Amino acid sequence: HLKPQLDALKEQYKDNQGAYNEAERKLLAENPIYIAPYTRIVDHIDHIKQVAGIDYVGIGSDFDGVPFLPAGMNGMEDLSLVTYEMLRRGYSEKDILKVLGENFLRAFTQAEKVARIGSRKISGDGSLKKIK
């Protein structure tokens, strides 16, 4: 919600280093950012599972270098909170393992097969299913 205002500040103060940073801090202090709870991650997992299926859900590892994490999480060490929430919502151990990494391994294995055949196309009809 604040991006247009922050972008305007960047433009306004780009030649005056330091003034932008102070203005940005003031804007953020006056308009605190809503930080969603970690359970929101599982809300997204629920949605993707519903739309595309559990085989197409994964959690990335970009828990460092981001401006903030979901409320209740300090880093990757708190990923177990997401796992517990998935268990609470009735996800099976098999589905949780898919989300936590098995789906990525499957996708990377398929990508490696494509790379080995030296093709820019996944297969004739755009499906990896034909690649053996």
For the chain, percent helix, then strand, then coil, each to nearest 5?
60, 0, 40
Report which listed range, 20-29, 88-97, 109-118, is most confident: 88-97
DSSP state of 102: I
- How deeply is 70 buried, as exposed, middle or buried, from its count of CB atoms within 10 A (0-12, 13-18, 19+)? middle
12 pLDDT band, cuts 50/70/90, is: low
Q: What is the pLDDT of residue 95?
A: 98
Question: In 3D, which of 117, 118, 99 has the Cα closest to residue 107?
Answer: 99
Q: Who's near 112: CB < 8 A, 6+ residues apart?
A: none
The mean pLDDT value of the chain amounts to: 80
Q: What is the pLDDT of residues 94-123, one digit of tens each?
A: 999 999 999 999 998 988 887 777 765 555
Q: What is the pLDDT of residues 62-82, one digit of tens each?
A: 777 677 888 999 888 899 999
| Mean pLDDT of all residues in 19-29 | 63
- Does the pLDDT of residue 48 top 70, yes or no? yes
Q: What is the pLDDT of residue 19?
A: 54
Please give the residue that has the higher pLDDT: either 32 or 91: 91
